[in-house]
A and B are shown apart, each in its own frame.
Chain A
Amino acid sequence: MSNIKVALVGNPNTGKTSLFNRLTGLNQKVGNYPGITVDKKIGFTKLTSDKGAEIIDLPGTYSLNASSLDEDVAVKVLSDKNNENYPDVVVVVVDIENLKRNLFIFTQIKDLGIPTILAINMADQMTVRGIDIDIPKLESVLETKIALVSSKQNKGISHLKKLITSYKLLSVLPCFVEQDSVFSQYAKDDKKKHHLETVRRYQFLKSTLEETYTQDPQNAKDIRTLLDRILIHKVYGYLIFFTILFTVFQALFSWSAIPMDFIDSTFATLSEKTREYLPSGVFTNLLAEGIIPGIGGVVIFIPQIAFLFLFTSFLEESGYMSRVVFLMDRIMRRFGLSGKSIVPLISGTACAIPAIMAARNIENWKERLITILVTPFTTCSARLPVYAIIISLIIPTEATFLSFNVQGLLLMSLYLLGFSTAILAAAFLDKMLKISSKSYFVIEMPNYKLPLFKNVAYNVIEKTKAFVFEAGKIILAISILLWVLASYGPGDHLKNASEIVQKQHPTHQGDLLQTEIASYKLEHSYIGVMGKLIEPAIKPLGYDWKIGVAVITSFAAREVFVGTLATIYSVGNEQESTIKDRMRNEVYQDSKKPVYSFATGISILLFYAFAMQCMSTIAIVKRETNGWKWPMIQMFVMSGMAYVTAFIAYQTLS
């Protein structure tokens, strides 16, 4: 039997996603709507022993007037009977404390003639806030069935499920009719009519709620006033914001260090054991030198990414992020940005791709474009593995400055560098771009709430999973390709390697001879030949050809850098050691000085701070700006900057 198709609709901040999580558990998947990148979340739930429901969580919207891309998705799904996601029944989720505004979209959806259930969420607040609702009356005026639910306390869910099961009994009549103003008949740009219709809908809701909804004003006080007084205070507000950022980044580095070291050594052991227990041959080599280090290169950044997503989703869920937007708007505008650019710039520390999509909330096109163009400067989590390994190579762990860990401070300065570059670039673009567009800045300031553990956890799991699998696919493929390129080469150099090396170094024996042979082989493999070819271009930055190869492969995605080096350094190297140890022992072929000196390290850090080493970002910028012009400009400017700063840094420091 087929599942009932349910669509969840509602304003942002109504706990729609919490309800979705409640209904579906981890039984959900995230995809994309065809052609656009708005997240499409679908989950499944069991209604009765033999009936199930497929639930689609539509993007949070304030109305069906389709003034943004997210709203457009909701309109497309709900107004087209042939749409693959067209639901059998709609559940409109509203917050009990702001019924009037939340019900606005409900009246619009009722006009579409789809069976509709009203789920009044956060019902646990009823007694606390002194709210009383005449449910039967409201049901009859709105032509619907109502479920009072609390996704926080898991109440009312079974009643909601019952209503969904018997959706065929629901009325499909509109609850608000005017002769000439059924919502769907409007021309999209008919603003005046929209305005009038909006006013009439509100009047209808006002009179409806006057009869059915009462709130004891004595109990209406909340912690909003108190928290706002501190959190958006003109001095404390900023202090608190910067303290939070500082703490997050210090914590991020020290907390994830332990699991990361553990993962690093585990994979090194795994490679070693594979070689020990499997019969030697091409397949074992591929496994031990290509695939295992490759996967290790992905797994290693799970801790940091998970922590980052944990912090960003905590800030979003708690309602604090909107306060930051409010605090920063005036300042950001000075640089051609919007207060709302703070969200992309902060979530850009996780990944530029969702961050660039988050810029959709910015109403002004110029501000939005600038935000899109500068967001990739912020330090995304893919830079972290590169930073982490280089920092740990050039700064001793125990080094402290004013009792702060120097490694942490350097990492923090890289974040600051990324952020300030983004801001300065924005100011520059603001002067350069001649685009005039009206600024409609409207942002809801939601109630403060303690984030639900479940929501945050799902968010972290889901995003980390998506990131690791997406990045993992690329990294795994590249690792295998690299291994092949590093293990085979043109001509007979590789086959005759040991004879040639023995002839060149007749005195070498044992380990020394083996190492010499291994590096000879690598040098004459396909990858070695390619690396040598580009060496002249990167030598002034302090990179040898191996780093050069890593720079090229990591054009796909920055994190590939570490994986590539892991693969390159492990080919032919049979001792058990971590990537870090191998890098530490690496010397230039001519001068025999360590490759990862302070100068080279800083040069690599700066290169990755600026360079546009991410194909996915280029793709998303192309999609969001509708063409190749902006992503191309962005790429050449960023990578040019990277080369120049890395060059200057290496030449001054070495």
Chain B
Amino acid sequence: MILHIAKKELKETGRSTAFLWIFAVVILLNSISLLVSYNQYTAKEEQHELARMGERDRWLGQGSTNPHNAAHYGTYAFKPTFALSLIDPGVEKFTGVSVFLEAHARNETEQVAAADQTGLSRFGEITPDFILLFIIPLIIMVLSHQTVTREKQDGTFRLVKMQGVSNAQFIIGKWLGNYLPIVFLTTILFLEAIIVIAILDPTVTWQFVVAMNVVYLIYFAIITSISVSVSALSKNAGISLVSLLAIWIISCLAIPKIASSYTNSVYPYPTRQEFQTAVAEDKRQGVDGHDPWSEASQKLAEETMQTYQVSSLEELPFNFDAYRMQKGEEHEARVYFKHYENLKSVYGEQKGVYQKLAILSPFLPVRFLSMSLANTDYSTHWNFTDAAEKHRIEMQRILNTNFAENSELGDWGYQADASLLAEIPEFEFESPDFSETVHSNRSNIFILIVWTFSSIGFLFIASNRL
């Protein structure tokens, strides 16, 4: 019975030129956006590869040098590009892709794409995630808003009821008949994306692609339920369309904007100035590798001499200048760690609020899940900067240790062998595996499930009031 109703819907859909045009336009739009993304991706990938190799050559090309010079000379850590960013570029555009790793300072990421663009970029770009998150829900609403109201207005609903069909059967049949064309459309969009991804990165973990597809299908199922319910509850098609457009504006535009303003006002980040002042203040409290006269440095010298039972720094079995440099580095690392952890806890609080607000709009959990599966969310960016910092600390340790063990106090002219540079490994960033991503998104997944069941509840409420 339900299939019989759905089949008739599909038949009508197939004959509606409006449907066919909209589908054709969306597929065309998706193809264009994938093509644009493909070109950007390959260009970026090429630049990335050139920069990465050039940077390594530059680093190794220093030859024999003083380790601390090399530390100041520095090197770059690059964030890899992920194939699924083709579908959802997330916050990538605003976070930057490289970090300069040097002595004494944890630098911020550079090469922020948005900074390179004109004000026009503010109007957004056509990307598959835009089509999936905003356009398709709108299409579902426009196409389904009169699925029940028209039958009620025309009187065909009476004829349907006359055949002894229950309201629940009718509504579920309607839901299925309206959902299946969207499943078809989504499948085409994802197939296009999958082909492009397979060309760009055949090693991609397909679980992420499948999961993303499933997340969007669930999202559309929820939107279809809402549309069919509103259509069933509305007196006429006009009221239904206006109500659905209001729901679209509220859940896809208003709530996300309000959510970000709200979270920023409840859990504000410190300003850049506050942050830098606080870091500088804390740095001053400890050892500065370049300042042997500071109180902290004097204290370190005394303690070290005591530990090694010597009466002068020259008697130490290592170069105390380099040792102090490492101690200074460790102190600075702790300071940075502390302050970045503070930022991260603000981020954690904001994320918590966001996830609670996600109960207000099915858009939010899908937005977060999609970015997370594409490795283009803010958490991935944090993971990258943390990994880069870890790499920087390790790099300083290797350089300072070599300096300390192979030179005498005051020997700033010491030149380490060029092989030391090769001891510093190249920076590698490991993206989380599938189960980690699922685990870190359990709240979003839970809320999406709540939304799924609520939307089924709407359908039943609507069928009871029909």
B partners with A: no
Name A residues whose Cβ lies closer than 8 Å to a Cβ of B.
Answer: none
